[in-house]
């Protein structure tokens, strides 16, 4: 924010506003299909209100109120300006409470069943500049607009429950199956919220810098956005089937996608026609959400995953394409992919060195 000649606090630059925008406009297809189905599910709200008595939401609110700093006109005023600006741009009528929590780890979250609250850590506030922080706050407001806070709270609760029932023979397995499915959905919801952050900040370079800092810290003079995006390309296409399996195992316990992957996905969306249409004022409206077709949303999601498999450079996805296409000599192709890697389909001496060398940075 800057001071106008009349002494008023005004946005540091003009940004496009999106009156009545539906979260469907920026949601990742897999995230959107799940949310549309849940919103259509009869009695879903009642179930979650019943669950709210079991979840520690009230305790969390009291904890942040008593042991964190609430953002407002008199505390962290610059963050309060960004929050109000983000809600104005995405047309979120009720501004969620926001707290700054003392934690050196850069982190932010949006939680709550009845009313979302946003929490950012001191580590994040100290790490990011104003435009980068604006994208992060837009990210969290995007979570609030989509209703992600409800499922995030449920995920936190179930993760803790899994630890408590670990001694029960099958109890932990059942809970962890739900947690694993929720994490997969939540990773996609993070990609949705990254898009919301870009709609609020309207500065793709700031969004890229913020993600890069989350990976490498506050050393911008030592980092380069293009080189960072090249890491995402290397992560996706490098290695062999063993590395593909390791990627899956590495990501399963995470609630967020890897940072390079998020940066690459956001860059791709920023260059898409969908993003440009939103910026031009053409987007789904919130008052149309009730008419959204669940089957259409699932078709969009299925189409997205099919395109992902078709265009992926990952060795495992390449093998899936070959199986789907009925490739001849599948045993030989599998042997070549595992032991020589996709970059050396017919050569010798490609065993291990090239494949493992390409996978090490991605596994960090």
- What positions carry a catalytic annotation? 140
Q: How far is it, in rounded angstroms, from Cα 111 to Cα 100?
A: 14
**Neighbouring C-beta atoms of residue 259, cutoff 10 Å:** 18
What is the rounded CA–CA span in Å between residue 15 and residue 81?
A: 14
325: tokens are 């296409």
Please state, as a whole number, how many other Cβ atoms lie within 10 Å of the Cβ of residue 338.
16
Rounded CA-CA distance 322/15 in Å is: 46
Scanning the structure block, which residue is given the tokens 């949601």?
27
Q: Which long-range contacts (CB under 8 A, 24 or more apart) does 50-53 make?
A: 51/113, 51/154, 52/113, 52/114
Query: Are 223 and 212 contacting, i.e. CB atoms less than 8 angstroms apart?
Result: yes
Report the alpha-carbon distance of residue 56 to residue 61 in Å, rounded: 9
DSSP state of 324: H
Task: Say if CB 176 and CB 234 are below 8 A apart.
Answer: no
The DSSP code for 85 is H
CA–CA separation, 157 vs 155, rounded Å?
5
- Cβ–Cβ < 8 Å for 180, 11: no
Q: Can you name the residues that pair with 117 across neighbouring β-strands?
A: 111
Q: What is the Cα–Cα distance from 244 to 237, expressed in whole angstroms?
A: 9
């Amino acid at each position: 924010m800057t001071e106008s000649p009349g002494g008023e606090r005004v946005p540091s630059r003009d940004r496009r506003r999106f009156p009545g925008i539906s979260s469907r406009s920026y949601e990742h297809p897999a995230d959107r299909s799940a949310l549309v189905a849940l919103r259509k599910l009869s009695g879903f709200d009642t179930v979650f209100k019943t669950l709210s008595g079991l979840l520690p939401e009230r305790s969390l609110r009291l904890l942040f109120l008593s042991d964190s700093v609430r953002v407002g006109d008199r505390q962290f005023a610059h963050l309060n300006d960004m929050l109000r600006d983000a809600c104005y741009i995405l047309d979120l009528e009720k501004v969620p409470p926001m707290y700054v929590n003392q934690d050196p780890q850069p982190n932010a979250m949006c939680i709550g069943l009845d009313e979302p609250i946003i929490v950012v850590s001191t580590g994040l506030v100290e790490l990011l500049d104003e435009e980068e922080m604006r994208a992060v706050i837009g990210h969290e407001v995007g979570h609030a607009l989509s209703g992600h806070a409800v499922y995030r709270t449920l995920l936190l609760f179930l993760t803790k429950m899994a630890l408590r029932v670990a001694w029960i023979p099958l109890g932990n397995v059942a809970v962890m199956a739900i947690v694993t499915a929720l994490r997969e959905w939540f990773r996609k919801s993070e990609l949705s919220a990254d898009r919301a952050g870009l709609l609020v900040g309207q500065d793709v370079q700031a969004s890229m810098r913020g993600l890069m800092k989350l990976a490498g810290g506050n050393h911008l003079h030592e980092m380069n956005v293009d080189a960072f995006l090249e890491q995402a390309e290397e992560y996706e296409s490098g290695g062999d089937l063993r590395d593909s399996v390791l990627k899956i195992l590495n990501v399963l316990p995470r609630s967020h996608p890897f940072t390079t992957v998020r940066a690459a996905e956001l860059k791709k969306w920023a260059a898409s026609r969908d993003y440009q249409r939103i910026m031009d004022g053409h987007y789904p409206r919130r008052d149309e959400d009730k008419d959204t077709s669940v089957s259409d949303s699932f078709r969009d999601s299925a189409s997205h995953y099919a395109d992902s498999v078709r265009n992926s450079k990952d060795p495992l996805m390449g093998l899936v394409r070959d199986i789907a296409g009925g490739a001849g000599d599948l045993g030989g192709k599998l042997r070549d992919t595992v032991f020589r890697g996709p970059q050396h389909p017919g050569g010798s001496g490609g065993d291990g060195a090239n494949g493992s060398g390409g996978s090490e940075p991605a596994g960090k």
